[in-house]
Structure 1
Amino acid sequence: MTTAADIMHSGAHWIPATDNLVRAAETMRDLNVGALPVADENRRMCGIVTDRDIVVKCVAEGRNPWDVTVGELTQGTPRWIDSTADVGEVLREMQEHQIRRLPVIEDKQLVGMITEADLAQHLDDDQLADWAHKIYSEGKPPRRNAGEPDLPSMGGYQPDEDDQP
């Protein structure tokens, strides 16, 4: 039986919820990762912060990443898997919650992460295609927010020669 421990990459690092987003971004850069598990003051996992969270929920909203803590961006119930779980359980957890990064826990300690790259290395093509289909298409709302106006049409606009670079 292939387990979470078999397919994870070990050495995952967590970040305190009290750290600011600049520190989170620096840590991601230094570790060459796109997500970090977040720990509360009791060193219990309280979520995950991603590089996309920093961009979309902070920078794009005009907030100062020096002033926003990692904990302010974490929401919902943190998802994780035990290191002894079989790969089928890993896939079900990721598919059910439509997540692409899954912390791996052993004896209540963070021991690794399972990412898309890990799955690509350990799953056969059919398993990987099925997983990707469920993560990226099933139940996903359109990226444009409901009620947001349609983008303006170019209305047949054709640039003049003078408009060309």
Structure 2
Amino acid sequence: MTQYVRDIMTGDPVTVEPLTSVTEVARIMRDRDLGAVLVTEGDRLRGLVTDRDLVVRSLAEGGDPEQTTVAGACSDAMVTVRSDEELGHVVELMREHAVRRVPVVDDGHPVGIVSLGDLAMERDPESALGGISVARPNP
């Protein structure tokens, strides 16, 4: 049976505006147990920011995280997919572009995210990656 992105994506993605502070985005990630949020202007996707992006692109630069906005930390050269695309296509894109998360965009609007962990859980829930993906984070 053919599977589609919509079958495994995490829907209703958390979004922030580009001028949101790095500190605020980090708090959102902590409070919602997320590794990534989408950066939007209005309802249009502008980028994706991960917890690693916050550290490498913002904190390591030495700026004040209260004053630094997420616009400078987000990845704006993104690969996206539609919710009606087949899962095999997402896997190919992740391999080709060496990414762990792919925003799902329908009619120009972000509707979800597919992660490597989502794919692992769907394809092989008994794998180490599948187990790690569902494990509670360290306190």
TM-score > 0.5 by shorter chain: yes
- Using the alignment, how far apart are the partners of 1:117 and 1:27 within structure 2? 20
Identity %: 33
- Using the alignment, how far apart are the partners of 1:18 and 1:79 within structure 2? 22
Cα deviations by residue, 1:130-150 (Å, 9 ceiling, x for unpaired): xxxxxxxxxxxxxxxxxxxxx
- Using the alignment, how far apart are the partners of 1:12 and 1:74 within structure 2? 15
Question: How many residue pairs get matched?
Answer: 126
Determine the structure 2 residue equivalent to 1:13: 14
Determine the structure 1 residue equivalent to 2:89: 89
- Would the aligned equivalents of 2:48 and 2:76 in 1 still touch at CA under 8 Å? no
State the TM-score, normalized to the length of structure 1: 0.69
Whose radius of gyration is greater, 1 or 2? 1
Unaligned runs of 5+ in 2: 130-139
Instruction: Give the alignment's Cα RMSD to 1 decimal.
Output: 2.0
SS in 2 for 1:110: strand
Determine the structure 2 residue equivalent to 1:36: 37
- Would the aligned equivalents of 1:20 and 1:69 in 2 still touch at CA under 8 Å? yes
Q: Could you list the structure 1 runs, at least 4 aligned residues long, displaced by more than 3 angstroms after superposition.
A: none
Unaligned runs of 5+ in 1: 130-165
- Give yes or no for the alignment of 1:27 onto 2:34: no
- Would the aligned equivalents of 1:3 and 1:86 in 2 still touch at CA under 8 Å? yes
